[in-house]
Structure 1
Amino acid sequence: MILKGFKEKSNKKYLNKLLSERQLEVADGDVESLGVILNIDEIDNFDMFKNLASAFNVRSNKLKIIAFSKNLKDDLKTWDDCFNPKDFGWKGSVKNPELQRFLDTEFDVLVSYYLTEALELKLITAKSKAKLKIGILQSDERLNDLIIKTNLKEFDLFKNEAFKYLKILNKIKNE
C-alpha cells in the first residue's frame, strides 16, 4: 500500500517534468494520422471516432484508438488496445508493448477524449509524440494544445469545433 503511494508520487513528478518541458510547434502540413485516447468507462462508441477521422480526411489505416479502464474486466478484451493501471511502472514507464507502440507513433493530431482525472490517462497524453494535441477541458491545461470545452455527450460539437480550428490552422484543405 505504501509502495503504491510512492509509485503514484513518482509518476506525478514525471508527468510534471514532461509537461514543463513540452514545446508547442505547430508544423505545416495536413492532418494525415489521428490518435485517440479515451476512457472506456465513460464512453465506448468506437464509430464516432471513425466519423471524426473521416471529417479530418484521415484514412482508416492512419487512425489508432486506445482505451483505458480502471477496471480489469475480461469484456474489455474485445477492444484491440485497452490498458489499465497495471500497465504502468515507476517514473512513467510503460509495461505494455502495444501502448508503447502507440506512444512512439508521431500522430499529426492526438485527441484526448476523457474527463476522468486518471494519472495514467494524463501520462499517455503527455508522453505521446503527437504534433498537435486536442482535448476536452481538464484540470491541467498543459496537457493539450487545443482545448475544447464540451461535455462528453456533445461529440458533434467537439468534432465541429476541432474541424473549425484545424481548418484555421491550415491542417485541413478545403474540398
Structure 2
Amino acid sequence: MRFCYLCAKYKDKMILKGFKEKSIKKHINKLLSERYVNVSAKKVESLGIIFNLDEVDNFEQFNVLSSCLKVMPNRLKVIAFSSNKKETLKSWDVCFNPDDFGWNGVVKSGELQTFLNTKFDVLISYYEADITELKLLTVKSKAEFKIGLLQIDERLNDLIIKTNLKEFNVFKDEVFKYLTILKKIKNE
C-alpha cells in the first residue's frame, strides 16, 4: 500500500512539473512576441553572461572574452545555471537551478532578478541544452543586444553564432568580428 502512495505522489509531482514548464514556455513566447530589437552603434561597455554549468565549467574563458571586447572587469557579470540542486554545487558561487523559478516565469531569487534587470550592452547566452529555464533567463534579460549559440528557437538572440560549445575560441573570434562590423567595439 505504501508503494502505491509513493508512486501516486511522484506521478502528481511530475504532472505539476510539466504544467509549470508549460506555463514558463507560454510566458517565454509572450515575451518574445513583445520584444523589439534595435541594433544601435552604442559601444559595448557592460557584458552579462549566462552559461550552463552542466555543459561548461571554465569561467576563465569568459574573462578572456570580456578582455577581447574591451569590457572592464567590474562591468562583467556572469551567472551559471545547473539542473542540479545548489547543495551539490561547490565550484561556482552564483549558480541557479530550476527551484529558483516559479509558475509563469516568476523568478524567486532577488540576485537573479537583479541580473535580469541590468541593462547590459551585450548579453552572451553560452549554452546548447534545450532547457526552459535557460531560455527564460535569456528572454527576461533587459540587455540591449543578445548573442548566443544556435538554438532550437532562433528568436532568443539577436546574433546567433553557429559553432560547437567546445569551440570557445571560434565563438569568441566570431563575436569580436560581428561586434566590430556593427561598430560596437571601443577603439582604445
Is the counterpart of residue 132 in structure 1 residue 145 in structure 2?
Answer: yes
Superposed CA deviations along residues 18-62 of structure 1, whole A, max 9, x for unmatched, are 111111011232100000000001001000000000000000000
Alignment pair present for 1:163 and 2:176: yes
Choose which of 90, 101, 118 in structure 2 pairs with 1:88: 101
In the alignment, structure 2 segments of 5+ residues that lack a partner are 1-12
Residue among 95, 107, 117 paired with 1:104: 117
Name which one, 1 or 2, has greater alpha-carbon Rg.
Answer: 2
Match of 1:142 in 2: 155
Contact 2:122 2:146 in 1 (8 A): yes
AA in 1 matched with 2:183: N
Post-superposition Cα deviations, 1:61-120, rounded to whole Å, max 9, x if no partner, equal 000000000011534244231000000001100001111010010000000000000000
Identity across the alignment (%): 66
Hey, which of these two has a bigger chunk of helix by percent? Answer: 2
TM-score under structure 1 length normalisation: 0.96
Residue identity in the other structure for 2:69: F
Q: Do 2:49 and 2:125's aligned partners in 1 also have CA atoms closer than 8 Å?
A: yes
Q: Determine the C-alpha separation between the residues in 2 that align with 1:103 and 1:174.
A: 28
Match of 1:101, as an amino acid? T
Distance 2:143 2:89 in 1: 26
CA RMSD, Structure 1 to Structure 2 (Å): 1.1
Question: SS in structure 2 opposite 1:12?
Answer: helix
CA distance in 1, matches of 2:64, 2:88: 24
Aligned length: 175
Following superposition, the deviation at residue 173 of structure 1 comes to: 3.1
Which sections of structure 1, spanning at least 5 residues, go unmatched?
none
In 2 relative to 1, CA 73–94 (structure 1 residues): closer, same or farther, beyond 3 Å? closer
